[in-house]
Structure 1
Amino acid sequence: MSYTIRAGDTLYGIALKYNTNVQTLLFLNPTINPFFLVVGDAICVPRRRRPPCPNGFYYTVQSGDTLYSIARRYNVSVREIQNANPSLDPFNLIVGDVLCIPRRQISCPGGRVHTVNERDTLLTLATTYNVSFNALSEANPDVDFDNLRVGQQICIPPFTPSISCPGGRTYIIRRGDTLSSIAENFVVSATEILKLNPTLAPGEFVEGILICLPEEAPV
């Protein structure tokens, strides 16, 4: 790849920046004078090696990118990107460089985390996981589903199938609910709720689950 000489550059400094050595740069650029670099001249440098990225994804620097704009795009801090790319010069991003973008763990109680790929859309996510548009939006209030980004993490809420609730009515468990708090809020006994939901254990009353409540419960 090409690099344009800047004021203050030395061959040694450029070699450090690209994780290489002076000998390699001289081999790639046999006509340059290592003691007299000319500002504005273009030299050939080896493409930077990808940094290890076990808990993130790779991003290729585009024209106009800054570290701040990349951080905002992927909802991480500049410091987190720098920590994941220790050899990165934050003031000299090179188009074509590959960065490791760390992933932030998102909260997704009762559901699963999906990492967006280049083919994902709101429709494909809803179809693949059999969830409604509204359920996806409610589980991801800060996500713009019209502008999904590769590597972005999405919470897929738990599937809530229709249930038969004869003599009662349905209720979707909310964040913070427990069997005892639901019983207290709706003035019914926990035992009565368990009888109406025989397939659920007390510890399985978690956010997003659809349950039956007695008809008289003030939902």
Structure 2
Amino acid sequence: MGKIDSDSDSPGDTHPMAEVLQKQSPQRACKRFYIMASAASGKSTFAGQNETYRGYRIIDYAARLGEYTLTTRILLYLTRFLPFLRPSLLKRKDFASRYRGSYFDQAFEFLLGHDEPVVVFGRKTLDGFDHQQFDHEVAFAMVLIPEDHHRRNCASRKSQMRNPIPFFNHWTTDFEQIQEVRDNMRRHAEKHNITIYDSFQGAIDDLHRRFGVPGQFTDPR
């Protein structure tokens, strides 16, 4: 099982959470992996730098959703202090596709539609989400990059996404909010017996070792 240090690109030791949470059966084999990770974790960077890894196609699902329209972005801002506008926001197709159950319905339809080996990076699953419904088809994992690395990513976003109106700064530029998400994700993983890794490389390496189709995709790239 691989652990990637925040300043390294090579595998190292096992993440301590992995042995505690490794409850998924090592006997089953599948070629579709769903890896949960929070904002500013480097999902798009890893996917952009690795079209494939260990023979698996790498996809950041958020990139497939495209950008919000200008009207949706304006509504998002306004709902911060005018919450009665939220029903109007939920009716907008570009927002609804990202909202709770709709997001996962589409994400897993997309994932299961692949016959080729694939890794999809996406959101933390919902509390009521039945992971076992995908048994033998999808293996789940979570990546929580080291906190100092995540803090640096957040600071970088803050410099790149700074809004002239401070109130409108994107939430991912605030590490306190990122930290809340990290804590929530860790609790979610513990509740649902999902293995946590501290890098995408380490997660895919170990998922491949535990669940990959025997005899296939041995090339590390």
Q: TM-score range by the shorter chain?
A: under 0.3
TM-score, normalised relative to structure 2: 0.19
Between the two structures, name the one with larger relative contact order (CA 8 Å, sep ≥ 6): 2
Q: TM-score when scaled to structure 1? A: 0.19
Higher strand share: 1
